[in-house]
Chains A and B, each alone.
Chain A
Amino acid sequence: MFLAIKELKHGKLRFLMIGVITVLIAWLVFILSGLGNGLSTLSAATFKNMDANYVTFEDGSRASMSRSLLSELLAEKLESQPNVSAASAMGATMGTVLNNSDSETNEKVDIAILGITPDSFLEPNVFDGKPLQANKPLEVIANETLKKKGFKIGDTLKIEGSLEKMKIVGFVKNETYNHLPAIFTTLDKWRSIQFAAPGSNKGIEKPVNAIMLQGENIDSEKLNQLFKNTETVTKSTAVQGMPGYKEENGTIMMMLAFLLAISAFVLGVFFYVLTLQKSNQFGILKAIGASNRFLGRAIVSQVFLLSFISIAAGILLTYGTALILPDEMPFSLDLKLVILYALLLLVISILSSLVSVRKITKIDPLQAIGRME
């Protein structure tokens, strides 16, 4: 550590340049991870937030709500199965709403309409207003996005393609579904919108898209056998089944992986060149008795210090960036992810310095003494 710090102080410019590169790499990594996190929130926050462990779909739907159609009556039967503590149905459909109360703004807003049973574990808590009530089918609760777009509690909504008007009674936070802000309504109301066309319910009694199950260690295989034409999967599989979720995540992850691989290479080369420049100096130190371990430690601790400071600076920059990014941008930093990527970067830079450590062990102390005059 001693040699490491002394040299950092002495060669400020040189280390500053490497530091700046590390900061930029870290910055980009954190921004990408924030974007990835933001996108996946946008596409599946409602699923991620819901307090369920398993989801039952129609067999063959490949864990996708839009391909699945079941009867709500199934929920009761599922609830009586071992390890299932609660079951509640959900329906989802996409739509467009107009604010009917405000004659000035007649801007249409795309939304996801989610049908749930009021007061079930699927109903999110409102932070403003009142929750849903089973006997008031014309009331809905909406994601705060609508509030930001000028909707207020008490406003009536007109859903396109439906004659009925609904009233916003409450707002919820962080409920987005399939990249759209969600509004929650009762299952009956949802059905009247989704299955307005005669026959579109395929003759299923009380149709819904899926049934969410609460309970640890549910035997999904057994449920699949017991209830023909159903397929029960874990919540995370259901999240993966959200439209676009896998693709978006995959793209971001690939960019991150490339970025990390490139940074490992770039940093490795930088450290290696630095080490080469100093090989004579290391030769001298070896000649007067420095062990490979001593010198290796000097290099690794130097890289550790430099990376640590740079990554910390990268984190600060990222949080600074988050402040100035526009609200609509799907960017959300998850502290756990930030820490994870910070550690990953630290490990990568230290691993990349190991090439240099290897080089040191090869340096011949003989070169320090003027052998060939």
Chain B
Amino acid sequence: MSGIQFKNVSKLYQQGENQVLALDEISLTVEQGEFIAVIGPSGSGKSTFLAIAGALLHPSKGEVILNGKNLNELKPKDLAQLRLEEIGFILQTSNLVPYLNVLEQLLVVKRMAGKLAKADKEYAKELLQSLGLAAKLGKLPEQLSGGERQRTAIARAFMNNPSIILADEPTASLDSKRAHEVVQLIANEAKTRNKAAIMVTHDERMLEYCDKVYQMEDGRLKHDDSNSYEKLKAISTKG
């Protein structure tokens, strides 16, 4: 079974005397080719959810199945391998390596996996070109605008051709034109290359690109049918 599946996942943070139930019995399936959004107020558990989906955090209860693998059963080393091969993380701002140029940001991912082949270089260039960065290959992060940086990060997330794409507020630092472009890119990648994509966002304007919208509140996940875009979409596909 491919895609990602949450089965009754809970996360309890222990902070001194206090316990915070950050996730409360979450169940959810994201199929390949599906792009979903998770929205919700600050502190509702969105990042925790994404961290668990990305094999960075262990759930306190329940299990996560990623491309048929139960994450609870993997060793830390295998989890790193899985992140490298099957997950493309698009993090918030300034998450590029400061001393690598745009092209190298992508190539380092290949180096982590082992050897760098000539074909990888070509692929990275193509990817960057398709994201409108062809002229920026040799630039360092400090020489790029916010949008260019974010697009580089996206290209990096796509570099290993992962089957799952996770994005944590990818538009937080972008103006609305760039924000649309970026989310469109993710949606496009999920559709055309058949990937499961999850985006955590505050930004209501971006929901039009998503197949489903979930609302996170106090650690509980609700499918939000009230979302107008989804309805519109449903109608338009029916009609």
Contact = CB atoms under 8 A, between A and B. Distances in A.
Contact of A284 (B47, B57, B81, B95): B95
Contacts, number: 84
A1 B36 CA distance: 39
A287 B83 contact: yes
Interface stretch (B97-105, B182-190, B214-222): B97-105
A167 interface: no
Interface residues of B, number: 36
A287 B82 CA distance: 11
Contacts of B51: 366, 369, 371
A3 B42 CA distance: 36
B80 A286 contact: yes
A370 interface: yes
Most chain A CB atoms below 10 A, which of B50, B84, B112, B156: B112
B157 interface: yes
A370 B89 CA distance: 12
A10 interface: yes
Contacts of B104: 6
Given A281-B97, A281-B98, A285-B97, A290 B112 contact: yes
A302 to B, nearest CB: 12
A148 to B, nearest CB: 56
B50 A369 contact: yes
B108 interface: yes
A287 B91 contact: yes
A288 B109 CA distance: 8
A294 B50 contact: no
A2 B80 CA distance: 20
A369 B100 contact: no
A368 B95 contact: yes
B92 A369 contact: yes
A276 B108 CA distance: 21
A366 B97 contact: no
Interface string A275-302: 0000001001111111110100000000
A365 interface: yes
Interface in A217-249: none
A4 B42 CA distance: 38
A11 interface: yes
A2 B91 contact: no
B179 interface: no
A373 B201 CA distance: 12
Nearest to B104: A6
A9 interface: yes
A286 B160 CA distance: 15
Contacts of A368: 91, 95
Contacts of A284: 91, 95, 97
A7 interface: yes
Most chain A CB atoms below 10 A, which of B87, B95, B160: B95
A299 to B, nearest CB: 14
Contacts of A290: 80, 84, 112
Contacts of B169: 370
Nearest to A281: B97
A371 B47 contact: yes
A291 to B, nearest CB: 5
A120 B73 CA distance: 80
A262 B111 CA distance: 36
Contact of B99 (A7, A294, A369): A7
Given A6-B99, A7-B99, A289-B85, A370 B92 contact: yes
Nearest to B85: A289
B81 A291 contact: yes
B118 interface: no
Contact of A369 (B42, B80, B81, B91): B91
A9 B140 CA distance: 13
Nearest to A366: B56
B83 A288 contact: yes
Contact of B89 (A9, A281, A369): A369
B227 interface: no
Interface string A173-199: 000000000000000000000000000
Interface of A: 2-3, 6-7, 9-11, 281, 284-292, 294, 365-366, 368-373
6 contacts: A290-B84, A290-B112, A291-B84, A366-B56, A369-B47, A369-B89
Interface of B: 42, 47-48, 50-51, 54, 56-57, 77, 80-85, 87, 89, 91-92, 95, 97-100, 104, 108-109, 111-113, 140, 156-157, 160, 168-169
Given A2-B111, A370-B91, 9 more contacts: A7-B99, A288-B109, A288-B157, A289-B80, A289-B84, A291-B77, A365-B56, A369-B54, A369-B56
The 6 tightest CB contacts between A and B, nearest first, are A289-B84, A10-B99, A289-B83, A370-B92, A371-B47, A291-B80
